[in-house]
Amino acid sequence: MKYIVSNDNTDVSIEEVLTIESYEKEGYKIPSGEFFIEASELQNVLNLVKSKPNARVFDFCNIDNISYVIKTDKHVTNIGGNKHGLYITSYSKTLEYAEELYNELKHFNPPSEENEVEFHTFLKTSSTIDVKKSFFNAEAYADINDKYYPYININVLFEQFFGNKESILICCGEPGVGKSKLSTHALKYCLANIKSLPNKQNIEISEDEYISVSVAYVKSTEILADDTFWYMLGENSYDLVILDDLDFFLTSRNNEVNTREDELKNAFVSHLLSFTDGVKDNKTKFIITSNQPFEGIDEALLRKGRLFDILELRKLTKKEALEIWKSEGLKESEFKKCKFSDTVLQADLGSEIQKHLNTKIKIRPYLLESNISKMGKQYKKLGF
């Protein structure tokens, strides 16, 4: 059984960031791993952590949720969850202490019953880079629909991307056309074709053994310019790195560095070029999404042997949108009521489809005065 921390693999709360920062101030700076355990193991884990010298236990449990914080001179450990499953996160004062606790806790982590995506979201605290882990199996990607890309053969695209030596795929286009969603299709492909991934091709896997697709997800420009992040990428041999919403960072570099943003961009591009130059045998693939027009991308990123392709994603035609609508079992008459224009944003179509598929929501007017909603005026102003 799998326990997923969050259905939104990019969601990191402000409470989590503040908690990590408070640990840093007390000297607990080294992550000791994150584990997912069955609720039946709770007492065994508590006994282990409480047995450490000078352990102090803080009990925040209530009728619905389990929440403990255990502090020692070496570690701080959080245990949270409910009767269905628990997760453990821990921070230590030294690398040696972190390794010690990791080796003790890892035995409680239940073995995977199927291939899964191990999704690492990188976030920046005051002085360090932290990683939030989530785990997703094939069921999490079962409902994604490749019909939203009628101009791409999704499987052939990723077959060639993961099969060729080039490391970078850039997806550009206006917001809402499905750039980030295409990365989700890549994860679905990876789970179905694990043995074809460059980092997995030479691994011997028995019939009863399951492995993870290792994915790094980053949006923070501060992290992308940080030496430590690129060291972590090299050390962990990620199968895929998703760099989402890079705009200014992809533009051509100037000789003059006038702003902090210029400095960060130059550092990022330098790191990316070095990581993907082919000198080291890095088999990590990068998918980069951007609202930046492809003409403005730094020429150094376009070098043959490094760049696989630049895809400029477009809106759907009304006919294509209707085909997707009907493929979900919805009536054409309901589609016409949506009053789409001649071109349709994938995000808008998906939103309307979800409304109509959710039988708990009745599509009926909720405004008693028509002038209350200003959405139509704003869309008209923006040219939608």
The CATH number that domain 140-312 falls under is 3.40.50.300
Domain boundaries along the sequence of the chain:
14-110, 140-312, 316-382
pLDDT digits (tens, 9 = 90+) for 36-77: 777 788 888 888 888 899 999 888 888 878 888 899 999 899
Picking from 3-7, 88-92, 125-129, which range would have the lowest pLDDT averaged per residue?
3-7
**Tokens 């979201």 — which residue?**
121
The residues facing 169 across adjacent strands are 287, 309
For residue 242, list its beta bridge partners: 217, 287
Look at residue 280 in the predicted model and tell me its pLDDT.
61
Average pLDDT value for the chain: 82
pLDDT value of residue 363: 55
Which tokens is 18 given? Answer: 């503040």
Residue 303: the pLDDT is 78
pLDDT-derived band at 14, boundaries 50, 70, 90: very low
Residue 242: which of 208, 279, 191, 286 has the closest Cα? 286
For residue range 68-105, list pLDDT tens digits in order.
889 999 989 988 888 767 888 888 888 888 888 888 88
Q: Domain spanning 14-110 has what CATH number?
A: 3.30.160.110
Phi, psi of 138 (to 5 degrees): -60, -30
- pLDDT on residue 103: 84
What pLDDT does residue 9 have? 38
Sheet strand arrangement including 168-172: 129-137, 116-124, 212-218, 240-243, 285-290, 168-172, 307-312
What is the predicted pLDDT for the residue at 6? 31
Phi, psi of 258 (to 5 degrees): -100, -25
Instruction: Give the span between the Cα atoms of 20 and 17, in whole angstroms.
Output: 5
Q: In 3D, which of 239, 248, 245 has the Cα closest to residue 219? A: 245
Instruction: Tell me which of 10 and 281 has the higher pLDDT.
Output: 281
> Which pLDDT belongs to residue 11?
43
pLDDT at 379 over 90: no
How far are the Cα atoms of 1, 35, 207, 220, 249 from residue 110, in angstroms, in the given order? Answer: 8, 9, 18, 32, 40
Which residues have CB under 8 Å from 117's CB, separation 6+? Answer: 135, 136, 137, 140, 187, 190, 191, 212, 213, 215
- Which of the residue ranges 15-19, 338-342, 369-373 would you say has the lowest mean pLDDT? 15-19
Q: Tens digits of per-residue pLDDT, 193-248?
A: 988 899 888 777 665 567 889 999 998 888 998 998 998 888 888 999 999 988 77
Give the pair of three-digit tokens for residue 384: 């939608």
The per-residue pLDDT for 4 is 28
